[in-house]
Amino acid sequence: MAPVVDSAPIASPVTPDSVARWIADSASGDAAKRATAIAALADAPRKDALPVLRRLLTDGEPQIDRPLALRSLRDLALTQGDADGAIRDAVRQAIYHGDDLTKTEDVQEVLDIIEESELK
């Protein structure tokens, strides 16, 4: 019988250099590079990722950047917590001060998920 091999990739540790690269790439003119960086910021330290994701949630490209930033903020809150409410504030900012391209129902859903996770 053949041995069972775990084919899941081994996650590389998040380093200050990788976080700095993700932050820089989140403003790239290359949409694919930007999308990869925005998604990766969900694994960055909260203090580093939050300001970038907050900005992208309201000022990023509406069809790609904003949904990815929203997902990364949700994941950040679920994995690292939001005891101080800063992530929820960023999400609320998008609801109250977003433009006509902001998908408020999606943003509200993420806010509800984060609120529920903080009640546990």
Listed in sequence order, the DSSP H helices in the chain are 16-25, 31-40, 46-59, 65-80, 86-97, 104-119
Domain at 16-119, CATH class: mainly alpha
Query: Per residue of the chain (120 residues), what is the pLDDT tens digit?
Result: 544 444 444 457 889 999 999 999 999 999 999 999 999 999 999 999 999 999 999 899 999 999 999 999 999 999 999 999 999 999 999 888 767 766 778 888 888 889 888 877
pTM over 0.95: no
Domain ranges of the chain: 16-119
